[in-house]
Amino acid sequence: MTNPKLEVLTPQNSQIIFIDHQPQMAFGVQSIDRQVLKNNTVALAKAAKIFGIPTTITTVETQSFSGHTYPELLDVFPELPLLERTSMNSWDDQKVRDALAANGRKKVIVSGLWTEVCNNTFALCAMAEGGYEIYMVADASGGTSKEAHDYAMQRMIQAGVVPMTWQQVLLEWQRDWAHRETYDAVMNVVREHSGAYGMGVDYAYTMVHKAQPRSSSHETLAPVPAR
Q: Which pLDDT tens digit goes with each residue over 150-208?
A: 999 999 999 999 999 999 999 999 999 999 999 999 999 999 999 999 999 999 988 98
CA dihedral over 123, 108, 17, 43, signed as positive or negative: positive
The Cα–Cα gap between 192 and 35 comes to 14
Residue 1: is its pLDDT beyond 70?
no
Show the DSSP H helices in the chain as ranges: 23-27, 34-50, 71-76, 94-103, 120-130, 146-159, 166-174, 180-193, 195-203
Residue 220: is its pLDDT beyond 70?
yes
Global pTM reads 0.94
Catalytic residue among 17, 37, 47, 118: 118
Per-residue model confidence (pLDDT) at position 15: 98
Q: Helix crossing, 94-103 with 120-130: angle to 10°?
A: 60
The reply to whether 125 belongs to the active site is: no
Residues 41/21, Cβ–Cβ less than 8 Å: yes
First to last CA, the chain: 80
